[in-house]
Chain A
């Protein structure tokens, strides 16, 4: 995906010079390997900072919320779906946006790579087509990109932007298997007791830093429920019940809105698979409401409308 870098720089320069947009949002190479940072530029002279490879997994839609200017933005499939959600939720208007679409072949899980080199420090990362090379002080290894995709990218059905003004390449095929929710199903098959243990162990490492929330483009409330103290909705300690309450509510706030972009999981400093919560909701929303978030501007989200045939078997 490296070759998109030049195109992105060129388009950003053009848009800024011609005054089509006031600001351009993309990524720049991170100061640490495999950690590209979001970048906002206004000066057409600094487009050289823009960069693109398979480590651009934070969700740029996060930086659109409430902006009043005209924005150029780089968008993969999931980012574009979040942009659609933002438009549907009136956080930004379509006319402000110039979307540069990227057919995405998936992002690399930096954690999987670090595991593969036995936790040794990686000081250089280089993408070479379908392969990538990592270099440390005393080692050098080449891996196949497809073996190291983020787990959400590995089963991504919408790698192509659903909304764009300009597309940077040919469309790529999405995942076609019917086992997208295999991980959730596996947990569903466990006993109630086992699931309780599974989730409790999973979040026991949580340090309540709220990086998952901050990375999520859906979490744009001016004051998050976890930060409020009058009233205090949830305890601010790392008591397991408080932590579980946080994760449950964070996930539930994303119900019917989550695009499974994986930004939360990527941002988690403790490597907690927090998508286990949101993905269960995605699965249920699809089963109960035949809904997947961010696929079109016309439809209202399921939790935003009432339909006579809404499932109500649980209410007495």
Chain B
């Protein structure tokens, strides 16, 4: 929670970061969560923040 709050505090879009705890026996939950994450992130579009394109050299 602290990490999520900090990252969103410095400007990471809400919805970019997800946490879940899924047991190896919970296949259905895995599918559900994966689909949900996929959907939310797709709506947000490609990440622009904290993405290192290329090392900048002087």
Contacts and interface: CB of A to CB of B under 8 A. Distances in A.
Interface string B11-46: 111100011110000000000010010000000000
Nearest to A196: B11
B11 A195 contact: yes
Given A239-B55, A241-B51, A316-B19, A281 B2 contact: yes
Contacts of A284: 1-2, 5-6
Contacts of B1: 284, 288, 311-314
Interface string A296-314: 0000000100000001111
Contacts, number: 77
Contacts of B20: 315-316
A193 B12 CA distance: 8
A149 interface: no
Contact of B52 (A193, A241, A316): A241
Contact of B19 (A198, A251, A315): A315
Contacts of B55: 235, 237, 239
A255 B2 contact: yes
Interface of B: 1-14, 18-21, 33, 36, 49-52, 55-57
B7 A199 contact: no
A195 B10 contact: yes
19 contacts: A192-B14, A194-B11, A196-B12, A237-B55, A237-B56, A237-B57, A239-B56, A241-B50, A241-B51, A242-B52, A244-B50, A248-B7, A277-B10, A288-B1, A311-B1, A313-B1, A316-B18, A316-B20, A316-B21
Interface of A: 187-188, 192-200, 235, 237-239, 241-242, 244-245, 248, 251-252, 255-256, 277, 280-281, 284-285, 288, 303, 311-316
Nearest to B20: A316
Contact of B9 (A187, A288, A313): A187
A252 B10 contact: no
Nearest to B14: A192
A315 B21 contact: yes
A285 B2 contact: yes
A265 B56 CA distance: 27
B1 to A, nearest CB: 5
A299 B9 CA distance: 28
A316 B57 CA distance: 41
Contacts of B4: 314
A116 B48 CA distance: 40
Task: In the A-B complex, list the 3 residue pairs whose CB atoms are closest, starting with the nearest.
Answer: A196-B11, A316-B20, A241-B52
A39 to B, nearest CB: 36
| Candidate in B8, B20, B21, B55 with the most chain A CB atoms within 10 angstroms | B55
B11 A192 contact: yes
B45 to A, nearest CB: 14
